[in-house]
């Protein structure tokens, strides 16, 4: 990946037939290569810098296609190198032919993400922005798109750069202290030091907290449908998805393994899971494994839809209580299913009416209201103050967690008046963790891990 001297080429559009396709080239020979194989319609000998040109790709006097060529002269290009983009017709033959002609001219096929990698190496974007480009390409919803755009515009990079600046200020304060007083540590500026440190810790804690929201918005809000066997979980799952995705039958224990499907409602991505019915008495080995997975899913979920098919208050309360003891912080919606048969409503002690839904999964009664409330709940957990910065990458989250660990250590050591050299080392480690987020501190493993997730041509 680090062989930057090569000129690279790739098809940037998805493989297959389309109206047009884009082939992209970057590197010092890009313009020379295109001049060898392109004949402008105006018969201009050489392509000018930063121009759009109509003409033909020609090899040995044979015309391959009529194309549009965009020429970007370095450093004003995506990669910071000379870049040429060829918009050709979308035939697979044409795309591959042009690609092979360019390779014959001395370019090589790009690695996944190599264009963006070059943009990073050439200082056009930082690492955080590079990751946002991948998110942008993959964004499926209004919110995931918004998060990616904000990250691409440098919102996260700026806040990280700011925090790094403040840590550097603290390091300078320690250096000053070391220069002037060897014994009476922080006589002059301990208060100021603490104030800056607390401010950094607060900001990092806010970012760490935002990850839960960011993750939910980017990857989907996880909603598990749980309950005893035969209560109608799979029927509900199918109704929500408007698809016969899960097998429904009146045999208890029909769903063995959980099934997950995505659904976008009002621009928010949800991941609904149909689980194996909870049956503590089962002796069936496979069913037991399925139930184990149900509990695992409950643990991960943002919202639980707990389905019942009876009005027996004792059973309901017993089951709800046992779930809440296991997962005290989980949000639970109580679903009384088969309302078409039950035809009576219930109030439950200790449970708000707004969390109880009387539905008929089979006939669709109450489903719209349920989905509205699920959306309302998801908006609440993802609601943000305007302009708040949200972390969406696990890599950023992990580095922030590491950074805060060392900053708390600095706080502790400061209170114990431990030698400033130790504070200095912890601060530097925290600084390094933040540097890794934007790529100011990095290594080849991190880079290849990030860029290998890109497609070829990006
Ligand atoms: N009358 C009525 N029957 C329903 C309703 N919802 C589900 N059923 C029936 O209840 C039976 C069980 O439905 P499933 O959706 O397979 O139940 P489940 O909870 O997924 O069951 P397991 O996978 O075994 O845990 C089927 O015969 C469904 O047709 C409903 O709203 N009304
Ligand atoms: Mg089922």
Condensed to tens digits (0 to 9), the pLDDT of residues 133-142 reads 988 988 888 8
**Cα 203 from chain centre:** 21
Give yes or no for residue 341 CB within 6 A of ligand 1: yes
Task: Report residue 34 as tokens.
Answer: 């295109």
Is residue 187 pLDDT above 70, yes or no? no
pLDDT-based confidence at residue 4 (cuts at 50, 70, 90) = low
Q: 230 — alpha (psi -120 to 50), left (phi > 0) or beta?
A: left
Task: Give me the sheet containing 221-227, strands edge to edge.
Answer: 259-265, 268-274, 221-227, 303-308, 331-336, 356-358
| pLDDT of res. 91 | 93
Beta bridge partners of 272: 223, 261
CATH topology for 8-124? Gyrase A; domain 2 (3.30.1360)
Query: How is 288-302 classified by DSSP, letter by letter?
Result: HHHHHHHHHHHHH-S
Number of the ligand 1 atom closest to the C-alpha atom of 361:
31
| pLDDT of res. 184 | 55
The CA distance from 154 to 149, in Å, is 9
Task: Report residue 301 as tokens.
Answer: 């979920």
DSSP SS3 for 288 = helix
Range among 191-195, 224-228, 281-285 rated most confident? 224-228
Instruction: Give the CA radius of gyration of the chain.
Output: 29
The CA distance from 296 to 307, in Å, is 17
Condensed to tens digits (0 to 9), the pLDDT of residues 336-388 reads 999 999 888 888 877 888 899 999 999 999 999 999 999 999 888 776 555 57
User: Is 17:90 a contact under the CB 8 Å cutoff?
Assistant: yes
The CA distance from 225 to 307, in Å, is 7
Give yes or no for residue 275 CB within 6 A of ligand 1: no
115 or 219, which is more confident: 115
Instruction: Give the chain's mean pLDDT.
Output: 90
Task: Report residue 240 as tokens.
Answer: 């929500």
Query: Could you tell me which CATH number the domain at 133-215+393-439 has?
Result: 1.20.120.430
Cis peptide before 75 (omega within 30 of 0): yes
User: Is 71:3 a contact under the CB 8 Å cutoff?
Assistant: no
Tell me the percentage of the chain whose pLDDT exceeds 70.
96
The residue with tokens 């104030």 is 195
1-10, 301-310, 400-409, 448-457: segment of lowest average pLDDT: 1-10
Give yes or no for residue 360 CB within 6 A of ligand 1: yes
Query: How is 84-133 classified by DSSP, letter by letter?
Result: EEEEEE--HHHHHHHHHHHHHTT-EEPPBTHHHHHHHHTTSS-HHHHHHH
Q: How far is the CA of 202 from the centre of ligand 1 (A)?
A: 49
Phi and psi dihedrals of 87, rounded to 5? -95, 110
Domain ranges of the chain: 8-124, 133-215+393-439, 220-381
| pLDDT of res. 384 | 56
Task: Report residue 278 as tokens.
Answer: 């909870």
pLDDT-based confidence at residue 290 (cuts at 50, 70, 90) = confident
Is residue 281 pLDDT above 90, yes or no? no
| pLDDT of res. 208 | 94
Give yes or no for residue 294 CB within 6 A of ligand 1: no
Beta bridge partners of 161: none
Mean pLDDT of all residues in 114-126: 94
Q: Which of 225, 232, 241, 249 to mutate to test the pocket of ligand 1 (most atoms within 8 A of CB)?
A: 232
Q: How far is the CA of 341 from the centre of ligand 2 (A)?
A: 19
The CA distance from 197 to 210, in Å, is 20
Is residue 114 pLDDT above 90, yes or no? yes
Give yes or no for residue 279 CB within 6 A of ligand 1: no
- Of the candidate CATH numbers 3.40.50.300, 3.40.50.12160, 3.30.1280.10, 3.30.1490.190, the domain formed by 220-381 belongs to 3.40.50.300
Is residue 180 pLDDT above 80, yes or no? no
């Amino acid at each position: 990946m680090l062989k930057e001297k090569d000129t690279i080429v790739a098809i940037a559009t998805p493989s297959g037939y389309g109206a047009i396709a884009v082939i992209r080239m970057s590197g010092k020979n890009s313009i020379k290569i295109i001049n060898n194989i392109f004949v402008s319609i105006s018969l201009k000998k050489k392509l000018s810098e930063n121009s759009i040109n109509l003409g033909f790709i020609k090899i040995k006097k044979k015309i391959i296609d009529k194309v549009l060529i965009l020429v970007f002269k370095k450093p004003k290009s995506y990669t910071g190198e000379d870049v040429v983009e060829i918009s050709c017709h979308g035939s697979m033959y044409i795309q591959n032919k042009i690609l092979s002609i360019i390779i014959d001219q001395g370019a090589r096929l790009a690695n996944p993400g190599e264009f963006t990698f070059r943009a990073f190496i050439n200082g056009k974007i930082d690492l955080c922005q590079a990751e946002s480009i991948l998110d942008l390409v993959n964004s499926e919803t209004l919110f995931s798109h918004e998060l990616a755009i904000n990250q691409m515009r440098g919102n996260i990079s700026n806040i990280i750069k700011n925090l790094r600046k403040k840590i550097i200020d603290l390091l300078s304060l320690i250096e000053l202290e070391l220069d002037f007083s060897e014994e009476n540590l922080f006589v002059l500026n301990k208060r100021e030091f603490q104030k800056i440190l607390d401010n950094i810790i607060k900001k990092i804690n806010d970012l760490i907290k935002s990850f839960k929201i960011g993750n939910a918005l980017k990857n989907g809000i996880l909603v598990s449908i749980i309950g005893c066997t035969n209560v109608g979980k799979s029927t509900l799952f199918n109704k929500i998805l408007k698809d016969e995705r899960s097998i429904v039958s009146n045999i208890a224990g029909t769903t063995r393994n959980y099934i997950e499907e995505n659904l976008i409602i009002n621009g928010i991505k949800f991941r609904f899971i149909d689980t194996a019915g909870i049956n503590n008495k089962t002796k069936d080995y496979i069913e037991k494994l399925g139930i184990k997975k149900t509990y695992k899913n409950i643990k991960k979920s943002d919202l639980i839809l707990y389905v019942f098919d009876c009005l027996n208050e004792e059973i309901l309360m017993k089951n709800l209580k046992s779930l809440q003891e296991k997962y005290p912080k989980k949000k639970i919606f109580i679903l009384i299913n088969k309302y078409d048969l039950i035809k009576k409503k219930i109030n439950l002690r200790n449970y708000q009416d707004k969390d109880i839904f009387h539905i008929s999964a089979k006939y669709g009664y109450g489903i719209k209201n349920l989905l509205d409330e699920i959306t309302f709940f998801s908006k609440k957990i993802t609601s943000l103050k305007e302009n708040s910065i949200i972390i969406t990458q696990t890599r950023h989250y992990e580095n922030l967690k590491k950074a805060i660990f060392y900053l708390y250590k600095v706080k502790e050591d400061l209170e114990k008046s431990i030698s400033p050299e130790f504070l200095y080392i912890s601060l530097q480690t925290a600084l390094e963790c933040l540097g890794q987020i934007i790529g100011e501190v990095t290594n080849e493993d991190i880079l290849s891990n990030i860029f290998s997730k890109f497609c070829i041509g990006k």
